[in-house]
Amino acid sequence: MRTLNVDLADRAYPIYIGQNVLSNTSCFKQHIAGKQVAIVTNTTVAPLYLQTVKSTLVDYKVTEIILPDGESFKNWETLQLIFDALLTEKNDRRTTIIALGGGVIGDMAGFAAASYQRGINFIQVPTTLLSQVDSSVGGKTGINHPLGKNMIGAFYQPQAVVIDSTTLNTLPQREISAGLAEVIKYGLICDYSFLEWLEQHIEDLLALNTEALVYAIERSCAAKAAVVAADERETGLRATLNLGHTFGHAIEAEQGYGNWLHGEAVAAGTVMALQMSYLLGWLTQEQRNRGIRLLQAAKLPVIPPQGMCPADFLKHMSVDKKVLDGQLRLVLLEDLGKACVTAGYPLTVLEQVLATDYLALIETI
């Protein structure tokens, strides 16, 4: 087992990464203060891992909260089910919530922890690649609103993150690829040598090679932890973690949450960010194409939905969390491995990006 730390002074916490760590009692017990634990999971994950986690918690009163699975359930109604169960089972403010599942579960359980009795402890136990390398680290919690993704929530850090790479063995290939979109993101925004490593090992990751997976998870978490430690509440640097997300969130909202997986929408959005960086003269054509080819190699969609027009994108992008004082800030690449957040781009370039025929573009690569 490998251990990383998210350095946030008195709110610092460890990230445990390894095989079969769901059965490692010490990863959990040292981060549980009271005698009550509530495991929040979903109908897909519960049959696979709920009993394994419960077996490490025999000294505690455990409340099981099993939610419906899917991004479409990341809303107030489902969040209320968590509060209903906590109150019905008389969970007190020393209760620790364990978020057992992917990003939807982690975000909702974390938001419930931030809100219940004005804040209780929680532990992230991500079971998808995307949640292991991204959403479980950094304390972003929340739910979706019909007008925008993750628009309601809180910054609330966990006590620990427990990452068991063996949970990836039960994921569909589509989910593995979706997670790789976020892994590739780290190489593009801040770690060029990791980007080169990914170009050489993407097939190993798709094949669930254990050594490659653990390395990619650790490298991704280390990058995320460093950014979060420097900018916990996303006032500057942390926003670079949203490469492709502004375009991607628009795709998710327009297509209906869950029809495109988050990582799939981010991948198509990243292509749009690469194209905009190229049109601004920041990336060469070959650099743009390298990024697109890597996303293709990870079996990710690189063409936005054909039915979406520029107006569809702008409608959703106008309520993006990076809009400040009416200006839409975008995460773009000044170079491979170097991202920036900017509102200083000509509107005509954004319009050109939204009007690009990506099907024709991809055929030239």
Length of the chain measured in residues: 365
State phi, psi for 33 to the nearest 5 degrees: -90, -40
Q: Is 140 tagged catalytic?
A: yes
Among candidate residues 262, 288, 290, 329, the one labeled active-site is: 262
Residue 64 annotated as catalytic: no
Rounded to a whole number of angstroms, the CA Rg of the chain reads 20
In three-state secondary structure terms, 245 is: helix
d(CA 344, CA 355): 20
Confirm whether 118 is a catalytic residue: yes
Choosing from 31, 74, 140, 290, the catalytic residue is: 140
**CA-to-CA distance for 69 and 43, rounded, in angstroms?**
6
Residue of 182, 218, 252, 254 with catalytic role:
182
Distance CA 252, CA 316 (A): 10
Whether residue 43 contacts residue 67, with contact meaning beta carbons closer than 8 Å, is answered with yes
113 touches 97 (CB < 8 A):
yes
Q: Where are the beta strands (DSSP E) in the chain?
A: 2-6, 13-18, 36-42, 61-67, 96-101, 121-126, 140-145, 148-155, 160-164, 323-324, 327-328, 330-335, 338-342
Find the catalytic residue in 31, 245, 290, 329.
Answer: 245
Neighbouring-strand partners of residue 2: 17
Q: Has 316 been annotated as catalytic?
A: no
Cβ-contact 50, 64 below 8 angstroms: yes
Which of 71, 175, 232, 234 is catalytic? The answer is 234
Residue position matching structure tokens 């960010």: 273
3-state secondary structure of 40: strand
Q: In the chain, what's the furthest Cα-to-Cα distance?
A: 62
15 near 161, Cβ under 8 Å?
A: yes
The answer to whether 178 and 71 have CB atoms below 8 angstroms apart is: no
- Residue 2 annotated among the catalytic residues of the structure: no
The residues with which 338 forms a beta bridge, in sequence order, are: 335
Separation CA 312–CA 58 (nearest Å)? 51
Choose the catalytic residue: 219, 238, 288, 290: 238
Would you call 203 a catalytic residue per the annotation?
A: no
Residue 242 known to be catalytic: yes
Active site annotation includes 42: no
- Closest-CA residue to 194 (of 337, 340, 364, 14): 337
| Residue 20 designated active-site | no
Residue 201 designated active-site: no
Among 15, 3, 332, which residue's Cα sits nearest to residue 160? Answer: 15
In 3D space, the residue among 131, 356, 351 whose CA is nearest the CA of residue 224 turns out to be: 131
* Of 74, 149, 219, 249, catalytic: 249
Active site residues: 118, 140, 182, 224, 234, 238, 242, 245, 249, 262
